[in-house]
Structure 1
Amino acid sequence: MHRIKVGATTGALLIALGPAATAAAVEPGIHRTHGIAAACTADTGPYQRQLEGYLGLARDGRQSKADCAAIRRFQTQQRIRPANGYANLWTYRMMLVAQAGRNPNKAGKCPVRRFKVTCVDQRRQLLWVQRGRKVVFGPVPMRTGRDGQETRRGWHRIYVKHRKFFSTLYNNAPMPYSQFFDRGQALHGTYHDLYNGGGSAGCVNLRLPDAKKLWKLLKVRDWVYVWGTKPGTGG
């Protein structure tokens, strides 16, 4: 949580973009020998069964050559690096995004309203924005609060936005594209790994490109709805 002043001057976030890399013919994380893709040799991953189920493979929780190749293809499609066939947390989280598809609110957990609602699904660690039944943003992966610092559930409203903000509580940590919705908790981008298995200090962390798009979409007084429990937390 962070103390901020409503009406504080909104700064500009400058993002340095390097030169575009030359596209390679080789899939990320795949080595080629004499034009042939290297064998897929990754071990069984912590999310093996989940990936096997999603990809229509035998759900035995044990890595096989066919499993490895199928997971690697999925990783390549999702731009996961390295694309090596290992069923890690990043791959599992992107599986949840793909699984949600165009109807992330199929279970009806996020209230349908005539106005925009930013839906924060803590169980699946997914965020999207809907107006009525139409999804206008996402779903995208996100990260909510760790155990003991959980993101507060329920209805909230964005009350201030800062394009460039630095934490007043956590060593001046950068919080780009911050949109505060409840007593210092905010939707914001992160420069760090979203898939490290931990959690935030209560904010909703997003990949930087997603945070930027969400910043452009939402306005002060727009609604945010948070529900569910983040895996590994008590509330």
Structure 2
Amino acid sequence: MAAAATAGSSVTELLPTQNLRPASACISDLDGRFELRGLGPGEYLIVARQEYQLAESFVTIESNEAPDRVDLVFAAPGALRIHVLDTRTLPLSGVGVYLARCDGADISGISGTSDHNGMIEIDGLSPGEYVVKPTAAGVLDGVINSPHRVIVAAGRNAEFEIVLPALVELHLLVLVDGVPLATESVSLRHGTSASQKGRTDETGAANFKGVIPGAVRLTYEKAGKKWEASLDIPNDPLQSLNADLQPMD
């Protein structure tokens, strides 16, 4: 069976519709042509892939003959424009996204990371509906937004925002029984997010950057004993609070 797809090196697979397991595969030539031989009778799904694009066509092979030609046409690619910002509308860099198609087509490897302007741009996407899964390192990983569903149209840009909590710079005076805890290691955790390690100075002061506002827990451990303090961090850029550690049961 002869067929044509786009020019270049698109990978083409032939899958029987009964089990959708590849029956044959090849790479198109520079004219976009490919040929598949030795196929038995039945209905097949032909899938052409080029980078993030897909083109599909069903074909039926009778017992005595196959179609002379099947054309696979890639639709004009679309693109995603994602703006990542915090609740103060400031851009966030270093936040990643992974894409998956809602129809289950394999597009593994499509991802992006926000730049210093909080922008993620992913081009060359085959039209269709996608699930966009945000990921972030550090403290934001535990509070990352749920996946987003977005439709990419042929030749168009799909745009949306990912909004994450604004982070706080926290200055703590760490106390045990009212006495400053000098030159000791302490840990700060917000919910299920990663803990942040810090160390008090000789006055008992400890500074943490990139803290998620809300309920946090400060802990201190030494010689098999543990202390903790629960704090409520307001959503302001800079906070100075006292943390009075209490023995843990």
Please give the TM-score of this superposition, normalised by the length of structure 1.
0.25
Please give the TM-score of this superposition, normalised by the length of structure 2.
0.24
Higher RCO (C-alpha 8 Å, min separation 6)? 1
| Structure possessing the higher radius of gyration over alpha carbons | 2
Bigger share in strand: 2
